[in-house]
Amino acid sequence: MKCYPVPRENLVLSIDNLKDDIPEEYLSHKECYENVIRKGSVLYDIFSELSKDRKHKAHQAPSNAYRISDGIMQNVNPFLLHFALFVPAITNQATPEQQAEFLKHGFGIIGTYAQTELGHGTFLRGLETTATLDLETDEFVLNSPTLTSYKWWPGGLGHTANHCVVMAQLYVKGKCHGPHLFFVQIRDIETHEPLPGLKLGEIGAKMGFNTADNGFLGFHNFRIPRNNMLMKNSQVLKDGTYVESKNEKLTYGSMVFVRVYLLSDMAYMLARAATISVRYSAVRHQSHIKPDEPEVQILDFVIQQHKLFISIATSHAFKICGLWLWQTYSKVMEDIGKGSMDRLPELHALSCCLKTTSTRDAGWLIEQCRLACGGHGYLMSSNLPSLYTTATAAITYEGESTVLLLQTARYLIKSWKRAMEGESLPATVSFLSEYFNKRYNKWENTPKGIVDGLKLVVAGVTKMCAESIQKHVSRGQQYEEAWNSSSVQLIKASEAYSRALLCEVFWFEVDKVSSTLSNNLAVVLKQLAELYITYWALEKRGDLLVYTTISKDDLDKLQERYEELLALIRPNAVGLVDSFDIRDEILCSTLGAYDGRVYERMMEHALKSPLNAETVNQSFHKYMKPVILKHKI
């Protein structure tokens, strides 16, 4: 076995045929895909070797290990779904024997997670793909009965994967048992040809993610062994007996894994955007502050600091909360392994709202970083446009944001009702029980005071939702209708909950570790945490005025403190993004390179445009010249 020296970054980045002669943005859709498969296969080979001595762990904590691919495949790695969902679905949903069987080829197979269909993405109970047990042959027969039942969107499905985990409606003896997962080979390992009975292809160009190879898949009487249903949670026995799962939602467990993961993922996306835009803002001189002095670094404009420092702070907030959420996830998975499902609803609710807030915030903050770089931020060579289109896809995939926030709202309303009945609540929602006692507490202009205030907003809005639902029901609506009528407020309750969680976890985790840090580091981290909390207190001042005793004077003082924090962070701003320690080869940005040679890099990159290969493009002679000459007076 070849032994690769570590660290992986040096190894990977030293491989010549992983570099592009022509920037990706100048390749065709097809060339882009072929190029990314070329590079991805080299990486796949390296990681396969490196991972040989490591068993597939059911759940790997968020790490930056797979981040090297972001530099090599600036768009998206078509093998990502293999690691992000295919393997976790098998390790999370298959029996140990099935895992041994399905994963025996290790990296010899490439998989994806095929759940979404042309007609259904959110409403999983409405999925149309069927898996019908054939008792005689001990097989399942997979079918796509309608066009809308075609699997549509799974990453890597078009041309990359040769296996997938398929979510299909399970039918046994004429009875439907709802969505279940199945291990399915879709291409021949040797020839890569689609297997008979399948229709496979790629879904076409997208706003971004164009190397993810999102595909479609239709089944026509496609047979798989009965044992290919992932049977850790529910089983179908040889005689057709269906054994129910202890909780049917365990089937949805792989989605929870990725939602939890995405918080850390967004921390990293934001770290890259912040590094690019802050470094550029330190290099770019434009305009004056004092008329009689030279043009200033645009980073000296306080409004530029206001645009950018929140991204530095948010990246840390997501990283710290991502680790906190990962610990919760690991604990709940451990409990489930011991047969206790008690905390699954709480984990689902937390992962839904935190995935939504982190992906939405990453989207608009990356866009804010781009806009803060002026025209040069609009260049593909800045890498900010690609970061934006990649990050914003996550607002939709793995659970569309509106839908997930409504799931969290379900949990908040249930928790509110339990609180009103005097029941004890999990720590993450116990503040709901204290609402009436704390509603009129004197406002404190401290990070803890703000966190308490944001929690009062959550409780107040949740109370308002519960009352709204009750009002609609009393006017004759069914509960589900009343829920729909109140959904604007329900979304607000979940958003407020997510923000309060992020502020609380960020502040208290930083506060907890600060005594273990060097004084300077503790001071700067606390400044970032306080900036984050104060920023959101000011953004949510309306809600705080309604649900807490905060005064105009308190808000004025918060605004003053916020501007003080910007000034305190300014001297460390470049150091803070340098500490994200993202190498140029992974940052892939003419504006954000460590050496600050922005203009030289921009020109070097521009000259790589195929259009600059000649001084006069052939279109002049073919098209323009005849018209110019014809109309020449």
Residue 66 binding result from ligand 3IX, ligand FAD, none, given CB thresholds of 5 to 8 Å by partner type: ligand 3IX
The encoded tokens of residue 77 equal 């790695």
Q: Which is nearer to ligand 3IX, 63 or 519 (CB)?
A: 63
Residue 60 binding result from ligand FAD, ligand 3IX, none, given CB thresholds of 5 to 8 Å by partner type: ligand 3IX
Are 491 and 402 contacting, i.e. CB atoms less than 8 angstroms apart? yes
Phi and psi for 147 in degrees, rounded to 5?
A: -60, -40
Site of tokens 């597939």: 56
Closest CB 180 distance from ligand 3IX, rounded Å: 13
Are 384 and 366 contacting, i.e. CB atoms less than 8 angstroms apart? yes
- In the bound state, the residue with its beta carbon closest to ligand FAD is 121
Q: Which of 24, 346, 367, 398 is catalytic?
A: 398
Residue 324 binding result from ligand 3IX, ligand FAD, none, given CB thresholds of 5 to 8 Å by partner type: none
Task: Return the range that interacts with ligand FAD (CB under 6 A); candidates 13-21, 27-35, 44-52, 151-159.
Answer: 151-159
Closest CB 81 distance from ligand FAD, rounded Å: 5
Residue 69, interface with ligand FAD (CB under 6 A)?
Answer: no
Q: Which is nearer to ligand 3IX, 372 or 413 (CB)?
A: 413
398 labelled catalytic: yes
Task: Return the range that interacts with ligand FAD (CB under 6 A); candidates 43-51, 99-107, 265-273, 397-405.
Answer: 397-405
Residue 535, interface with ligand 3IX (CB under 6 A)?
Answer: no
CA angle 561, 444, 497 (to 5 degrees): 90
Residues in contact with 328: Cβ distance below 8 Å, sequence separation at least 6, in sequence order = 343, 347, 350
155 annotated as ligand-binding: yes
Are 71 and 20 contacting, i.e. CB atoms less than 8 angstroms apart? no
Distance, in Å, from the CA atom of 201 to the CA atom of 157, rounded to the nearest integer, reads: 7
Q: Which of 298, 294, 315, 312 is nearest to 374 (CA)?
A: 298
Closest CB 301 distance from ligand FAD, rounded Å: 35
Among 403, 464, 517, 602, which residue sits at the site for ligand FAD (rule: CB under 6 A)?
403
Q: Which of 587, 533, 597 is nearest to 271 (CA)?
A: 587
Closest CB 392 distance from ligand 3IX, rounded Å: 12
Residue 398, interface with ligand 3IX (CB under 6 A)?
Answer: yes
b/e for 17-39, b at 16 or more Cβ within 10 A? ebebeeebbebeeeebbebbbeb
Site of tokens 């962070």: 569
116 annotated as ligand-binding: yes
Residue 402, interface with ligand FAD (CB under 6 A)?
Answer: yes
Site string for ligand FAD, 527-566 (x = CB under 6 A): ----------------------------------------
Residue 125, interface with ligand 3IX (CB under 6 A)?
Answer: yes
Closest CB 203 distance from ligand 3IX, rounded Å: 13
Are 132 and 143 contacting, i.e. CB atoms less than 8 angstroms apart? yes
Q: Which of 168, 151, 162, 164 is nearest to 203 (CA)?
A: 151
Are 274 and 315 contacting, i.e. CB atoms less than 8 angstroms apart? yes
My answer on whether omega of the bond before 385 falls inside 30° of 0, hence cis, is no
Please count the residues of this chain forming the interface with ligand FAD, following the rule CB under 6 A: 21
Neighbours of 538 (CB within 10 A): 15
How buried is residue 6: exposed, middle or buried, by Cβ count under 10 Å (0-12/13-18/19+)? exposed
Residue 397, interface with ligand FAD (CB under 6 A)?
Answer: yes
Among 393, 405, 454, 502, which residue sits at the site for ligand FAD (rule: CB under 6 A)?
393
Q: Which of 19, 10, 124, 108 is nearest to 400 (CA)?
A: 124
Specify the pairing of strand 215-219 against strand 198-202: antiparallel
Q: At what angle do helices 344-371 and 487-514 cross, to 10 degrees?
A: 90
**Residues between 324 and 383 that touch ligand 3IX (CB under 6 A):** 344-345, 348
Closest CB 348 distance from ligand 3IX, rounded Å: 4
Residue 255, interface with ligand 3IX (CB under 6 A)?
Answer: yes
Closest CB 414 distance from ligand FAD, rounded Å: 17
Residue 70, interface with ligand 3IX (CB under 6 A)?
Answer: no
Residue 155, interface with ligand FAD (CB under 6 A)?
Answer: yes
Distance, in Å, from the CA atom of 384 to the CA atom of 389, rounded to the nearest integer, reads: 9
Tell me which residues touch ligand 3IX (CB under 6 A).
60, 65-66, 80-81, 83-85, 113, 115-116, 121-125, 155, 249, 252, 255-256, 258, 261-262, 265, 344-345, 348, 397-399, 403, 407, 410
Which residues form the catalytic set?
398
What residues line the site for ligand FAD (CB under 6 A)? 81, 112-116, 121-122, 153-155, 209, 214, 393, 396-397, 399-400, 402-403, 406
Binding residues for FAD are 116, 155
